[in-house]
Chains A and B, each alone.
Chain A
């Protein structure tokens, strides 16, 4: 009777079976904890790898190689009227001349037959600027540093074809090749030649689009938030509004693009590819985000503020606009900036409304054809020329910096102005 059944686990801590069991349980604990740590580490590593791969590929996009080219204008068959290039229409006069032919003739003279492949569109741009800055250049002999063609540029950065690599080696031997900062990338617009492309056009388009978005979505969103939080009666209408706001916040962005296409372009006949339409579409998308952020911010304003203002005789409207809204504004602004930053990175709805056109001129207004930075990235990623790979990554760096700036502002606003009650 006093013998314990062998199958029954004993309850004593010192038992071998018990310690084994406890050890196993603690091992499971460590494994579980390790799995959690591994998961978060892996996620952060993914992020680090993503950013690192964009940064390492993109840094090269901010630089480009230039080669020295001695030009003897007398020997090229370039015809430029000395009076015209000093006149008011100098730019169109120079643009009409066959600069690319002159460059390739000069390159052939300097570097042999392979020289004709040395320079591309960017070199023509540079020569145009040089002639405009100093019309006396034409007719004499000069030596200029010109950006090399994409193929040579890629080869100089170590990923080109064997033939291009040979040209690069030849240039380097003669000290006729140098790497410089690519200012055109920050000031130019889209182009067919990757060494001549720039993000300024797309950046400007993004700024216009975002401005339209903010101007429309922010006031309307704040007013709607005020209405829903402070004035709306509890009835079916209010429920319908709330349900649609919550649903809109979860609708895929591409659906807003379809809406923009059907309503703004097809019914209202607004201009295609324009920042105006892009901004309108993104405003509809950002509106529910602002309303939700606004309501949360208004909710945090304590009722005592309202009671005090009502108590000294302010009307409900005065309470809201003189006291509640100013106190809630930092919170609303933070939410708005986060929503706008998301709209800034949005691509799909803008593809739907035709903002994917090739736009070689920065837009001058909200109704000019334009593209935005994310769409520009998408367009460049589709290009075959290898020179576009680093340009795409470089544009991504610009976009991420832009977004970092906006989120930084949001965080600053939150820390600086947000009150804890």
Chain B
């Protein structure tokens, strides 16, 4: 069965930040809970863009604080750019 956007966001997050996938929850905050330094945040945004074949506004993307908010933002971008 195809992974949902939320599952894919969590997998990419875990891989990029080298954290246990079990620890990546909707409520997890990238910086405080998952330890994303500023450089890693930039890489993470790039990874989401590549994973979902979307372009995100960098200022907006970097202002997203939690995994759940990232799922919502990416879902919106996917919808706008791919009509899904």
Genuine A/B complex:
no
Measuring CB to CB, which residues of chain A are less than 8 angstroms from any residue of chain B? none
